[in-house]
Chain A
Amino acid sequence: MKSSQYVHFFFSNEPLFFLEDLMTRQGGLLWVDKYRPKTLETLDIHPEWTEKLASLCEQGTLPHLLFYGPSGVGKRTRIYALLRQVFGIAIEKRQVEHRFLKVGEPPKEVELTTITSAHHIELCPADVGYNDRLVIQEIVKEIASSKPIELGNVHRGYKVVVLHDIDEVSKQAQQALRRTMEKYTSCCRIIMSAESVTRVMEPIRSRCLGIRIPCPKKEEIEQVLQKIAKKEGLVLPDCYANQLVTQSKGNLRKAILLLQVGRAIAYPFSQQQQKKNEEEEESWISSQETGWDWERLCYDIANIVIREQNPKQLCNIRNKLYELFCHAIPGDMIFRKITLHLLRMMDEEVAPQVCHWAAHYEYGMKRGSKEIFHLEAFLAKVMYIYYSHIHTQYSMAWMDD
């Protein structure tokens, strides 16, 4: 890759006219994007971290950072807010590029989407798949090894490389990152985001300041939802907000998206849903009317297992699994959804077995490559467990391996 491609980003002054453009576009955005906090001051949740981040910026120089925590808690939002604090408004001017690059020897073509501004570049090496090592070795190193061009008032002496989903990246690629991180500290900072820190290797963790963003509290999510509803001029009944909070399971993004979907389908938020909530919260969550379409398909599968246990139904399940598979829904997510739903509907006595085998087959899936085989084997197993459970009510023999 030629570095000349990059040069032009670092020359621009700080034109403000694009902000105008930003404002005009705001109207059509989803609420989750429209009301995303842009600065550290406006962050709603986890104030303790907000303070620490702000003080980090005041020091004038940043360490390498590793943000980790579950999905939808605001890792990326914090990264942007932090960059905004450090580099000012210029960071808002971002360009998306999709490139075809030749890397490695012999050269292989890889596709990569990057988001760039004058001060930072953002990429997700895991997107490249098998060749992620080459991307880290060549591209990240090349960006990191050159000094940023001085840009007057906001010059900080370094630029920032943001690497997303670093836990999805292969071991080799992580190895390749190790040295780069140390060697070019004079002109480059690396900020990473990950869902699970255990999949990030020790040497990388030790080179970064780890920042764990936990799930927001229920009240915090509810506050955010009420705030958005107020801005949009909606009446959001407490019980409805409560449902969203329970359903989102600490995922703020999901909560806001669900709120908007609920608004689009029916407003004012219906009375019926409130009633259901009063009756029994659990059943409402598992009912088939809510959740995303892929979640509902997972519930369907679990329901079939409970209802009937025979090869014909396993065939039926296979077709449904293939539907999920075709839409690239990740296997571990399917495992989780189905297992949780099964646990909700099955007797307590079989629950430990189901959990055990879910873990067993999911581990197998991670080691293998064809997800569907493992899912099918798991569901066949559950069928058998459940079948023998309801037929031999008294003897609770554990399955032998």
Chain B
Amino acid sequence: MKRQKSSTFGEIAPAKRKRIHKRISESDDEANWSGQEDNVIGEELGDVTQKKPKQSEPPSPKESIVKSKKYFQKGPWKHTISPPNKGKKAVPTGSPESLQGLTFCITGVLDSLEREECTDLIRSLGGRVVSSPSKSVNFAVVGLEPGESKMAKIASLKIQVIDEDGLFDLIRARSTANIWKGQVETKTKLEETKQKKPTIDNNIAQSATCSELWTYKYAPCDLSELCANPGAIKSLKEWLVNWKAASLSQEGSKNKGKSSPKAVLLSGPPGIGKTTAALLVSKELGYFPMEFNASDTRNRAIVSSTVGSVINNQTLNQFGKDKTTSSVIIMDEVDGMSAGDRGGIQELIQLIKKTSVPIVCICNDDSSVKVRSLANYCLKLKWRRPLASQLRSRLLEICKKEGFENVDTQTLEKIVESCHGDMRQILNLLQSWRSHSRNLTYSDVLERMKQDGKTYEEMSIFELVKSLFSPGEWLSRRLDNYFMDPDLMPLMVAENYIISREASDLKKLVEASTSIAEGDIFNDLIRRQQAWNLMPVQALFSGIYPGQLLQGPFGDMIHFPSWLGKNSTRSKNKRLTMELQMRMSNNISGSFHAFLLEYLPCLRSILSAPLVNSKDGVSDVIERLDAYYLSKDDWDTLMSLSLEQKGHTELDKIPTATKTAFTREYNSRDHRVSTASAIRVHKVNESALVEEGESMQEETEVVKKEEDVQDMTLHDEEEIASKLVRSKGPSSSSKVSSKNSKTVEKGMRKNKKSTGKK
């Protein structure tokens, strides 16, 4: 019965899912507990006994409930289709070079391997994997539901098509064939030993300098050695070349307005050579770099005294032989100028305005709040992560120098990929590996990555959840995965444990849900008493244990936790309710809960019942609203807070004609408005003004009116006594309150967005 809704998968997914599941569920079609909701208990008793033995079978797709809301349309769908026979087939262990020289292209969902696993398998056996078919491709490995365009291309190129079993057979066949090729192998080995001789010498030479860090040893000492970001480097160079002329012309004609800025801001992720580039460029152009970084204190006073004294200086060198040399200031890690460096950025900006030497600022994120003000005065240059292809040759060179054996480009690309192009980290990793062994094959790298804990950086939150529930995963690994996001993981687990296929075992389900509830208690302890040492305990309760209990595939796509969205709805509704209570509090009696639980539902029926049958009830309802100082907007809020199901709310029962009559009648009369609400509106409006910054004029006028009202109440005693502001129809204050509610809604939407991003 929820079938209709299951189309909320990604654009391609529904068809895929259906077909895959059809295969699985064809055999146990009778096992569908087609979920008739309106079963009488008596009938149910009989049914349940029938169903019992089938319980352990995986629930069919009809079973799985799909929430109507989806948070990420494109995100997780592809991970939800797991291979139908995952982990059930024996993967052949071919000899290391069995697929040497072959190129593969994978498409569709394979029978037992994930796409990633298959890629790794092929690469570790020496094969190459490309994403789209081309002439160089030898085999196309095709699974379920292959991509149409890919298939067309494969057909047109006449590439040999094999399935997963075919691939396994190929591996087996070629590994046995390799044994026959024994002779050839020995030949190649001979060649290798020839090559080895010089490298051994190399090794001895290197062992002497072993203590040196590779990051320094192989630091580029020339601009040409920088692998990536040629564009940015070029513009940095141009800026520095033009600097002298630009600053002179600027001084000469100050009124000319904009010219190139006197400072430059380099931004980009760590380890990709920003500082190096800045140093090299200045060196090449004959400048003397002076570096200030986060290790120096950089508050206002110190910046002005140290840097400030430099900007007007000339270097000693200038008096020597080379008259052209002048200094350049490199402010490294400017986003690291934090609490201790108060005023540093402002001072820096001041210095930039009057500097006579070029200033290069370096930061990781040029859109962060700290740097934003500085960025206005600088030429912004972005450094991007280098591509694997850009680093490849340089790495190959280094590996050869250091005496690694059997290094191939694919292995290096994998390293670059998992380090996100952080050259510094790659070098550090390589150096640590080099101390163990000289081998650097693809499978070695994979193994080491796992040990060094580098792989899960690539996992999304959805994959992390899946790993918690995947069978045979190590406890330590699950813990690590959990702690990738300890705030979101408990929510993710709580949201999704229920759709695990194992959850059909009620006992396990109870255990898991109880464990999650216990985890929440620990969470509260941690936050309230700052008992952070309980974090691992919470992880066990709200992540690891439920995952262990219900390990296995999910019967549905993984959802983003709905708790976040619901919680903000809750606080919105709570706020609205409090506002209503506040308006009415002069006439009612009872706590917030009494108001929420008793007054509200009663008011809803009393204020809607007279309108359901005839228009005569309109004046009755308006009279009641007035008695409690409620406005038409409040009436709308009241009705919107209904808990009835959609289509059966009080509001739905009122005919539209009556509604319009009600609105017209309400607007034509005079109404009392509580001053309490006016004060409140005024307050909230101020924040709205700051936020929107538009239609300022209009709103400030309204606010002024409200203030007048307040003043009046302060001075005029009669006004205090009556506590009422009489205002006519859709008057200023009601306008404001409707605007106000709009801003509240806007805020809500913003909230949702931010949670979505999370």
A96 close to B592 (CB less than 8 A): no
Instruction: Tell me if B721 and A367 are in contact (CB < 8 A).
Output: no
Most buried by A among B516, B517, B519: B517
Complex: how many Å from CA A384 to CA B517?
Answer: 16
Task: Tell me whether A25 and B627 are in contact (CB under 8 A).
Answer: yes
The chain A residue sitting closest to B679, CB to CB, is A98
CB distance A391 to B594 under 8 Å? no
A220-259 near B? 1/0 per residue, CB < 8 Å: 0000000000000000000000000000000101100110
Measured CA separation A265–B675 after assembly (Å): 33
Interface centre among B527, B598, B625 (most CB of A within 10 A): B598
Q: Say whether B504 faces chain A, with CB atoms less than 8 Å apart.
A: yes
Question: Is A396 part of the contact surface with B, judged by Cβ < 8 Å?
Answer: no
Contacts of A307 in B (CB 8 A): 37, 39, 41, 44
Question: A165 touches which one: B63, B591, B609, B679 (CB < 8 A)?
Answer: B591
Chain B positions within 8 Å of A325 at CB level: 566, 570
Whether B582 lies near A98 (C-beta < 8 A) is yes
B618 nearest CB across to chain A (Å): 13
User: B506 within 8 Å of A by Cβ?
Assistant: yes
How many whole Å from A27's CB to the nearest CB in chain B?
A: 6
How long is the Cα–Cα vector from A230 to B402 in the complex, in angstroms? Answer: 102
Residue A186 CB within 8 A of the other chain: no
In B594-638, the 8 Å CB interface with A consists of 594, 596-599, 601-606, 609-610, 623-628
Contact across chains for B624 and A28 when beta carbons are under 8 A apart: yes
Check A373–B517 contact: CB distance below 8 A: yes
Using A18-B721, A368-B523 as known contacts, say yes or no to A292 and B601 having CB atoms under 8 A apart: yes
Q: Mark A38-65, 1 if CB is under 8 A from B, else 0.
A: 0000000000000000000000000000
Q: Flag whether A311 is at the interface (Cβ < 8 A).
A: yes
Task: Verify B722–A21 contact, CB threshold 8 A.
Answer: yes
Q: Which of B506, B519, B589, B606 contacts A383 (CB 8 A)?
A: B506
A176 contacts B by Cβ under 8 Å = no
* B689 → chain A closest CB, angstroms: 15
Provide the bound-state CA to CA distance between A207 and B623, in Å. 45
Do the beta carbons of B590 and A76 come within 8 Å of each other?
A: yes
Cross-chain contact of A71 among B573, B593, B723 (Cβ < 8 A): B593
CA distance A312 to B717 in the complex (A): 63
User: Are B520 and A380 in contact, with the CB atoms below 8 A?
Assistant: no
Stretch of B75-83, B296-304, B641-649 lying at the A interface? B641-649
Cross-chain contact A261 with B582 (CB below 8 angstroms): no
Q: B623 contacts A27, CB within 8 Å? A: yes
Q: Using CB atoms, name the residue of chain B closest to A324.
A: B643
Cβ 8 A contact of B589, one of A27, A36, A322, A323 = A36
Q: How large is the interface on B (under 10, 10 to 19, 20 to 34, 35 or more residues)?
A: 35 or more
B566 touches A370 (CB 8 A): no
- Given the complex of chains A and B, what is the CA–CA distance between A294 and B593 in angstroms? 13
Q: Which residues on the B side are within 8 Å of A324 (C-beta)?
A: 643
Chain A interface residue count, Cβ-Cβ cutoff 8 angstroms? 90
Q: Which residues of A contact B520 (CB under 8 A)?
A: 364, 368-370, 373-374
Would B587 and A327 count as touching, CB distance under 8 A?
Answer: no
- A127/B578 contact (C-beta < 8 A), A28-B627, A311-B503, A327-B573 known: yes
Complex interface: chain B residues within 8 A of A356 (CB): none
The reply to whether B721 and A113 contact each other, CB–CB distance below 8 Å, is no
- Return the chain B residue nearest A24 by Cβ: B627
A91 at the interface (CB under 8 A from B): no
In this complex, the member of A9, A93, A308 whose beta carbon has the largest number of chain B beta carbons within 10 angstroms is A308
Knowing A96-B674, A318-B498, the reply to whether A377 touches B510 (Cβ < 8 A) is: yes
Interface of B is mostly: helix
Most buried by B among A25, A76, A93, A333: A25
A369-B583 Cα distance, complex, nearest whole Å: 30
Are B504 and A310 in touch, CB under 8 angstroms?
A: yes
Q: Pick from A164, A261, A328: contact of B606, CB below 8 A.
A: A261
Nearest A residue to B506 via CB reads A384
Least Cβ–Cβ distance between A13 and chain B, in angstroms: 8
Q: With A15-B721, A71-B590, A380-B513 given, is the CB distance from A328 to B524 under 8 Å?
A: no
Q: Cβ of B628 and Cβ of A368 under 8 Å apart?
A: no
- Chain B residues 233-256 with CB under 8 Å of chain A are none
Chain A stretch 141-170: residues in CB contact (< 8 A) with chain B: 164-165
User: Is A310 a contact partner of B593 (Cβ separation < 8 A)?
Assistant: no
Residue of A nearest to B569 (CB): A326
**Would A293 and B674 count as touching, CB distance under 8 A?**
no
Asked if B514 contacts A381 (CB within 8 A), the reply is yes
Q: Which residues B469-520 have CB closer than 8 A to chain A?
A: 494, 498-499, 503-504, 506-507, 509-510, 513-514, 516-520
Cross-chain contact of A293 among B563, B574, B643 (Cβ < 8 A): B643
Contact yes or no, A293 B597, CB < 8 A: no
A125 sits at the interface (CB 8 A): no
Q: Report yes or no: B41 in contact with A306, Cβ–Cβ below 8 A.
A: yes
Residue of B nearest to A254 (CB): B598
Q: Answer whether residue A270 sits at the interface, using C-beta atoms and an 8 A cutoff.
A: no
B510-A97 in contact (CB<8A):
no
Contacts of A318 in B (CB 8 A): 498
Q: Cβ of B714 < 8 Å from any Cβ of A?
A: yes
> Which 4 pairs across A and B sit closest by C-beta, in order of nearness?
A28-B627, A292-B601, A368-B520, A377-B513
Given contacts A11-B717, A253-B590, A307-B41, 16 further A-B contacts (CB under 8 A): A76-B589, A113-B582, A253-B594, A264-B609, A293-B643, A309-B506, A310-B504, A311-B499, A314-B509, A323-B643, A330-B593, A368-B524, A373-B494, A373-B520, A377-B516, A381-B513
**Partner-B contacts on A (CB < 8 A):** 8-9, 11-12, 15, 17-18, 21, 25-30, 33, 36, 71-72, 76-77, 80, 93-100, 113, 115, 124, 127, 164-165, 195, 251, 253-254, 257-258, 260-261, 264-265, 292-294, 297, 306-312, 314-316, 318-319, 322-330, 333, 361, 364-365, 367-370, 372-374, 376-377, 380-381, 383-384, 387, 390-391
13 residue pairs bridging A and B, Cβ less than 8 Å apart: A12-B721, A29-B587, A96-B585, A292-B601, A322-B566, A327-B570, A327-B641, A364-B521, A370-B523, A373-B494, A373-B517, A376-B517, A384-B506
